[in-house]
Amino acid sequence: MLGHRTTTLRFGARRAGTALYLRPRDTSPELGGAMTRGRTHDRHTQGQGQEALAGKVALITGASSGIGAAAARVFAREGARVVLVARREERIAQLAAELRAGGAQASHTTGDVRSPADAERAVTRTVETYGRLDVAFNNAGAGGDLMPLHLTEDASYDLVMDTNVRGVWNCLRHEIRAMIESGGGSIVNTSSVAGLVASRVPAPYIAAKHAVIGLTKAAAVEYAGSGIRVNAIAPGLTRSEMVEDWFARVPGQEARSKASAPQNRMAEPEEVAEAVAWLCSDRASFVTGATMPVDGGRTTW
């Protein structure tokens, strides 16, 4: 039994006589929990039965379908107040109404993340409605044309890069400003397994999703001191409008795509959204600059 004695821990071979000294009941931020500017989080005392996002204000882009719509439902279930952003107003209005009917606080605003003004308006709307911004999920994206690189038109390249890269850039700038003012927050950007490895998807999409990871790492390093965590997810094959359209246009692709991962199946959007919710929550308080594959093992072989 250690009591309050000082315990010496030595890892591997001694280096120049150095050792790491730990007090068994030390509660410093480095050992007992995680601390962010203006907010302290003790990971040992947080009840795991509590809602992961209780009291948080969350902004979700690309919320009209797929992973974005699933995230809206998961975040609301986990106690967040959510603002939904997408171009298709009817869909996000219906989803916000569904969430409110279930007892959540939810609102929506239309916007195209390719527009800096739309991104700024979404963040401003969030802060005006709920008083601050704690969580942002930058999920809006575009897949592009299924064409070989040398046959891809400039317009297709521009759509993919402007949506997937500039869209994240536009949102990050305004989200970070709002989070600095409120003392910190958590941002998750949607990349893809195509941001980790090349696959049989359009070259502009692969380039864009690699760029999202670069932006994620840069922002994580730059704003860690402001109490802002920035991470990315890299979903594998996930049920969505984009994927269903791809399968419809390419016979046999569904079976090939499923076989590309050890689990040999397609993820439901909610499975990816659960990972996003964890990254956004204080339970992931020591995670920043990371890219989390949610891919059924796709990138392990």
User: What is the reported pLDDT for 22?
Assistant: 35
Contact 198, 180 (CB under 8 A): no
CA-to-CA dists, residue 151 to 135, 179, 243, angstroms = 39, 42, 21
User: What is the reported pLDDT for 16?
Assistant: 39
Structural domains for the chain: 49-236+268-295 (3.40.50.720)
Contact 190, 212 (CB under 8 A): yes
pLDDT tens digits, one per residue of 50-102:
899 999 999 999 999 999 999 999 999 999 999 999 999 999 999 999 999 99
- Residue 122, SS3 per DSSP: helix
Contact 172, 187 (CB under 8 A): yes
User: What is the reported pLDDT for 48?
Assistant: 56
Low-confidence ranges of the chain (pLDDT < 50): 1-47
Q: Please state the pTM of the whole predicted model.
A: 0.84
How far apart CA 24 and CA 103 sit, in angstroms, is: 44
Contact 68, 61 (CB under 8 A): yes
Contact 55, 74 (CB under 8 A): no
On the 0-12 / 13-18 / 19+ scale of CB atoms within 10 A, 64 is: buried
For the record, the structure tokens of 45 come out as 């005392």
Q: Of 283, 231, 224, which is closest to residue 37 (Cα–Cα)? A: 224
Catalytic positions, written as ranges = 205
User: What is the reported pLDDT for 199?
Assistant: 85
